[in-house]
Structure 1
Amino acid sequence: MKWSEICNRYPSHFVLVEALKAVSSNRVRTIEEMTVVESYDNPLQAWEGYKRHHKENLEREFYVFHTSKQEIEVIEEYFSGVYRA
């Protein structure tokens, strides 16, 4: 789905999406195709859903957005520290 389709289908919701097709350029990740994994009314529930899905599927690319946004933008940040499991 495209972002505009998601906004029309889930107005005024937080959505957990999985990027199916995405490209990076100048530290900006552009999601060209995505699918809705879950939708939420509450941002805390959305982040809990994100953490649960991310923990179970580390290789998949998940994001949480609110459908009131006309456009979505993901700025890539690089982690350069120690990670503890």
Structure 2
Amino acid sequence: MKWKDVCQTSPNQWVLIEAVQAYTNEDGERILEEITPLKKFSNSLEAMREYQALHREDPKGNYMYFILTVKSLILLRKNG
């Protein structure tokens, strides 16, 4: 699923996603080409707790959570 599709199906909600296809470009931006929405939440605390639990179970998973008021998404990766 693409970011815009998730935004259309879950506007103004917190959502936990898994990045299925992603890469980091030459500018250090994380590009999410294909994502899978896993669960919707009414607030950030619930989303963060679910993210943390999922990350403990699968530390190598590419999980993230966002509020779906964002129309486009650019993730910047910190060095170090």
In the superposition, the TM-score normalised over structure 2's length comes to 0.92
- Between the aligned residues of both structures, percent identity stands at 27
Q: Does 1:11 align with 2:15?
A: no
For residue 20 of structure 1, report the CA deviation from its aligned partner.
Answer: 0.2
Match for 1:4: what amino acid? K
For residue 22 of structure 1, report the CA deviation from its aligned partner.
Answer: 0.5
Q: Does 1:49 align with 2:50?
A: yes
Which has more radius of gyration? 1
Q: Find the counterpart in structure 2 of residue 66 from structure 1.
A: 67
Following superposition, which runs of at least 4 residues in structure 1 exceed 3 angstroms of deviation? none
Secondary structure at 2:78 match in 1: coil
**Where does structure 1 lack aligned partners over 5 or more consecutive residues?**
80-85
For residue 72 of structure 1, report the CA deviation from its aligned partner.
Answer: 1.1
CA distance, structure 2, for counterparts of residue 78 and residue 41 of structure 1:
32
How many residue pairs match? The answer is 79
**Where does structure 2 lack aligned partners over 5 or more consecutive residues?**
none
In the superposition, the TM-score normalised over structure 1's length comes to 0.87
For residue 78 of structure 1, report the CA deviation from its aligned partner.
Answer: 3.5
